Structure formats: C-alpha cells, structure tokens
Amino acid sequence: MKLFSCPACGLIVFFENVRCERCGATLGYEPASNTMIALHPKGDRLVARAGRHAGTAWKFCANHAHDVCNWLMPADATEELCRACRHNLTIPDISQPANVALWRKMEAAKHRMLYTVLRLGLPLYTRGERPDGLGFEFLRSDDPKREVLTGHAGGLITIALAEADDAEREQRKARLGESYRTLLGHFRHEVGHWYWDQRVRDTRWRAPFTQLFGDPDQDYGEALKRHYAAGPRPGWQDELISSYAGSHPWEDFAETWAHYFHMVDTLETGRSFGIALSPRADRDEVLTTSLDFGVYDPALELTTLTTAWVALSSALNAFNRSMGVADAYPFVLSPKVNEKLGFIHALVHDRRAESR
C-alpha cells in the first residue's frame, strides 16, 4: 500500500489514521485521488487545510461516528456511506462494545481489500446498483453449536464475525491445518469469487480459465466433500498455491486471486518505503531486486512482479524467523502457479472484460 503523509505538516501517516500526531490535524482518506486530506472545521463544514485539495469541503462516511471508517466524500454528496461502506448489508449489533471492536477489524481489512480493487480500476457495484452487486454481511452466531460459515453466493459475501477474533481465528487455523489464515486474506479470497462471476463466467476468459484451472461446472458441493474427506491431493504443491485450491477450480481461482492482491499490495508498500534488496551472500542475484516500479501499471510484466515478490517475501520470512514468529508468506510459486497468476494479471488489466 502507498505510504501517506499529512498534507498540513508532512508527517508520515498510515491508511487508517484519523489524526496527525504531530500537528493534530483531523485526517481522512479520499479514494478518488488516493490521498490523505487534513481537515479543519469551518462553520458547519470540514475544509481541507492544505495540499491539492486546500479549501474544498468534505464530510466523513457515517460509519466514522463508530470509529470504523476514515473515508471521505464531498460535502454535498447525497450518500451518507462512503465507497467502501455502502456495500455493507448486515453489520454486527453495535449496542455491544465487543462487537464494535470486532467490526472495526472487519472494516480495516475490507477497506484495504477495496483499496486494491479501486487502484486496479476494477468494476465495483453495490446491491442497489445491480442485483448481482457486491454486498457484505458480518454475522455471528449466539449458538456455539451453529458456526457461521464464511463464503460467497451471487455477490453476497458472508464473513463470520468470529474471524476478527484473533484467538478464535488461530484455533480455526490449527483445526483446519492451514499455514496462513488472516481476516484480510478472507476478504481477498471471497471477492475473488465475485470477480469470477463478473469477469470470467460469461466472457471470453471462460475457455482459457477451464484449460488452466479446470472445469468450473463440476459439482461444487461434492468437490468440497471429497476434499475434506480425502485431504489434499498428492503433489498439490506443483500446481496449486495452497492445498485448499485443489478442492474446486473456483477455489483455485479465488486463492490465486487473493495471492495476486497480497503481492501487489505488499510490493507497493515496499516501494513506498524505498526498499531495495541486495543480500551480500546472494552471488547469483536470485534475491536481488529493486521495487522501483508501479505495481498497478497495466504494462508491467508479470515476471517483474513475481521476481520481486520472491525476493521480498523471502526477506519478510527471514525477518519473521529472526523475531521467532511464523513466516509472513509460507507459500511457493511453482511454474504452474506463476502461469495462473499470469491469468489473473491479464484478467484484471483487460478492460474489455467489463462489457460481456
């Protein structure tokens, strides 16, 4: 992700910040320009106090009142919810403080996922704009015997509120034998299912998808049953980014989509911090790379992206091991996985896919 700064004083600030710790300015994120705006009250309005937006009037998303969103809209906008929050269909019961804390984590992950969607210029519709638009339900079960399942159906994405509870998520991670399970990963994976519907299902991409990922018409329920009954298929690492990707071609696509998002977001963060990798022991320059390229540039070669990613993720894993924590990226990009990432890379930059 891009590294932001306070327009009023220049201090480095981050995506979720609502206040500058140096000058005290109120901060909000403006998605259309991908900038942070420093605000001050002027009458009954909030006005940008510096930078390219100086003098313009803004208002916060209505969810700012619950401390779960810092996105801005023009002051005269008729909507009350921002570009990210208007996709919400069901939110937790906010009369319970514990729910608000979990919802805050949900929104942080969802906003980061949508940041990448908007930076890629992907089509984005609410349920009000189109019947198959993107909507979110954040649900919890009061019955311990009935677990809310995270999933996607026709544009409706359900995320179990329990996934925002770090302890509960770690228990599920151990129970399912997963090497990686994060709230942000859930959002990236599930939105991948929606984009399969939007950009692959009824488009020219379906035939090459089937050739690369497999037949999407095979029974999904039966495929999942086989996966959970028999476990990962032997040698899955040669063709899949994760063992779960082998359960069905839809899941393979969603897993690969999520990893593409992991890559571009983290590489942009590396570039924002000016990171360049040149390990002293790397005589063959396998892990030597510069991150000085635009990850959202449609002309970017996939090999540039994946080569830089191997180097950066190796460094991240080495740092984590030095701190005694799990690898940040416990995955391997096999030649077949790189081919699938190439499919995603081409798909997200193909503007023709928007008109089916």
Place of tokens 């390990």: 279
What sections of the chain are H helices per DSSP?
Answer: 97-119, 166-175, 183-199, 206-213, 220-230, 249-272, 302-322, 335-348
* Whole-Å CA distances, 308 to 214, 264, 265, 311, 337: 28, 10, 13, 5, 16
Place of tokens 């035939």: 207
Phi-psi map region of 308: left, alpha, beta (phi>0 left; psi -120 to 50 alpha) = alpha
Q: Are the beta carbons of 256 and 248 closer than 8 angstroms? A: no
State how far the Cα of 241 lies from the Cα of 90, in Å rounded to an integer: 32
State how far the Cα of 90 lies from the Cα of 92, in Å rounded to an integer: 7
Average pLDDT over residues 209-227: 96
What confidence category does residue 233 fall into, taking pLDDT thresholds of 50, 70 and 90? Answer: confident
- DSSP string of 222-268? HHHHHHHHH-SPTTGGGT-SSSGGGG-HHHHHHHHHHHHHHHHHHHH
Query: What pLDDT, on a 0 to 100 scale, did the predictor assign at position 101?
Result: 95
What residues are paired with 61 via a beta bridge?
none
Query: What proportion of the chain, given as a percentage, has pLDDT over 90?
Result: 85
Average pLDDT over residues 81-109: 96
119-145 tens-digit pLDDT = 999 999 999 999 999 999 999 877 566
* Whole-Å CA distances, 193 to 52, 162, 239, 338: 37, 21, 20, 19
Query: What pLDDT, on a 0 to 100 scale, did the predictor assign at position 355?
Result: 44
Average pLDDT over residues 37-46: 91
Query: What pLDDT, on a 0 to 100 scale, did the predictor assign at position 176?
Result: 79
What confidence category does residue 222 fall into, taking pLDDT thresholds of 50, 70 and 90? Answer: very high
Q: What angle do CA 254, 260, 265 make, to 5 degrees?
A: 130
* Whole-Å CA distances, 310 to 5, 108, 263, 344: 29, 26, 10, 17
- Alpha-carbon torsion, ordered 94, 96, 101, 103, to 10 deg: -40
Average pLDDT over residues 1-29: 96
Q: Are the beta carbons of 116 and 264 closer than 8 angstroms? A: yes
Query: What pLDDT, on a 0 to 100 scale, did the predictor assign at position 145?
Result: 62
Please give the backbone phi and psi of residue 269, each rounded to the nearest 5 degrees, phi first.
-60, -45
Query: What value does the mean pLDDT of the chain take?
Result: 94
Widest pairwise Cα distance in the chain: 66
Query: What pLDDT, on a 0 to 100 scale, did the predictor assign at position 351?
Result: 66
Phi-psi map region of 235: left, alpha, beta (phi>0 left; psi -120 to 50 alpha) = left
Q: Which residue has the higher pLDDT, 185 or 234?
A: 185
Helices (H) and strands (E) in the chain, counts: 8, 13
State how far the Cα of 263 lies from the Cα of 243, in Å rounded to an integer: 19
pLDDT at 117 over 70: yes
State how far the Cα of 295 lies from the Cα of 265, in Å rounded to an integer: 8
- DSSP string of 274-300? T-EE--TT-TT-SS-EE--S-TT-TT-
State how far the Cα of 271 lies from the Cα of 3, in Å rounded to an integer: 9
307-353 tens-digit pLDDT = 999 999 999 999 999 999 999 999 999 999 999 999 999 999 996 65
Query: What pLDDT, on a 0 to 100 scale, did the predictor assign at position 35?
Result: 97
Query: What pLDDT, on a 0 to 100 scale, did the predictor assign at position 65?
Result: 96
Q: What angle do CA 329, 282, 307 make, to 5 degrees?
A: 45
Query: What pLDDT, on a 0 to 100 scale, did the predictor assign at position 205?
Result: 97
Query: What pLDDT, on a 0 to 100 scale, did the predictor assign at position 173?
Result: 84
247-288 tens-digit pLDDT = 999 999 999 999 999 999 999 999 999 999 999 898 888 899
Quick one: DSSP state of residue 150?
Answer: P
What confidence category does residue 356 fall into, taking pLDDT thresholds of 50, 70 and 90? Answer: very low
State how far the Cα of 204 lies from the Cα of 200, in Å rounded to an integer: 7
Query: What pLDDT, on a 0 to 100 scale, did the predictor assign at position 352?
Result: 61
Q: What angle do CA 122, 219, 136 make, to 5 degrees?
A: 40
pLDDT at 306 over 70: yes
